[in-house]
Amino acid sequence: MSRREIRVTGYGGQGVIMTGYIFGKAAAIYDGVHSTLTQSFGPEARGSACAAAVVIDEEFVDYPYLQDTEVLIALSREGYEKYADQLSDRGILIYDEDLVTPDERTRGAKEFGIPATRIAEELGKRIVQNIVVVGFATAATGVVGKEAAKQAVESSVPPATVDLNLQAFERGYEHFGH
């Protein structure tokens, strides 16, 4: 495995930072490779733009900032607008199809849409939208293993919500083969 770079973007309150955290934890703790997480967000707690950047590598990550974004996960139109130009031509775009409409800037990339918000609502809690996306992105990209991602979800969410979050992960993962 060479260096893999993932950017997750959306609004505060969508679980953007948690999504990045889960990918980094899955890689470092459960897949046994190195990872870093950097994050940026507006001054508001919810509703402002935010992003998480994850670097995964077999070697020690000596530079934690993205240079060649391989995976862009866009959970909001504003986030897509801000980071679409940074996605590699050979990259992968994953987006919530109810919130983001890709344009020509990412046409060279592989594009995968998922109705993550709708799936989360079907499960009864819109707040698990990000975990639906974690499952989908795990299947679509292979940047972390499925079991590693599931373990990272299970160990990162509140104990009372583990079952719901694992259901959300599985629904997202299964949707990729849909």
In which element (H, E) is residue 72 found? Answer: strand 69-74
pLDDT in tens, 13-26: 899 999 999 999 99
Residue 46 has pLDDT above 80, yes or no: no
Band of pLDDT at residue 47, cut at 50, 70 and 90: low
> Which residue blocks in 4-90 are alpha helix, DSSP H?
16-25, 77-83
Band of pLDDT at residue 107, cut at 50, 70 and 90: confident
For residues 78-95, give the mean pLDDT. Answer: 95
Count H helices and E strands in the chain, helices first: 6, 6
Residue 45 has pLDDT above 60, yes or no: no
84 touches 96 (CB < 8 A):
no
Radius of gyration of the chain (CA): 15
How far is residue 79 from each of residues 21, 54, 60, 82, 148, measured CA to CA in Å? 18, 16, 29, 5, 27
Q: What per-residue confidence (pLDDT) applies to 5?
A: 97
| Domains in the chain: boundaries | 4-176
In which element (H, E) is residue 32 found? Answer: none
Residue with tokens 């948690």: 18
Residue 43 has pLDDT above 70, yes or no: no
Residue 83, amino acid = Y
Question: For residue 142, what are the contacts with CB-CB under 8 A and spacing of at least 6?
Answer: none
Question: For residue 57, what are the contacts with CB-CB under 8 A and spacing of at least 6?
Answer: 1, 2, 3, 4, 33, 34, 35
Question: For residue 87, what are the contacts with CB-CB under 8 A and spacing of at least 6?
Answer: 7, 69, 72, 93, 105, 106, 109
Band of pLDDT at residue 49, cut at 50, 70 and 90: confident
For residues 150-159, give the mean pLDDT. Answer: 98
Percentage of residues of the chain with pLDDT beyond 70: 96
CATH match for 4-176 among 3.40.50.1820, 1.10.240.10, 3.40.920.10, 3.40.50.12240: 3.40.920.10
Band of pLDDT at residue 93, cut at 50, 70 and 90: very high
For residues 150-175, give the mean pLDDT. Answer: 98
Q: pTM for the full model?
A: 0.94
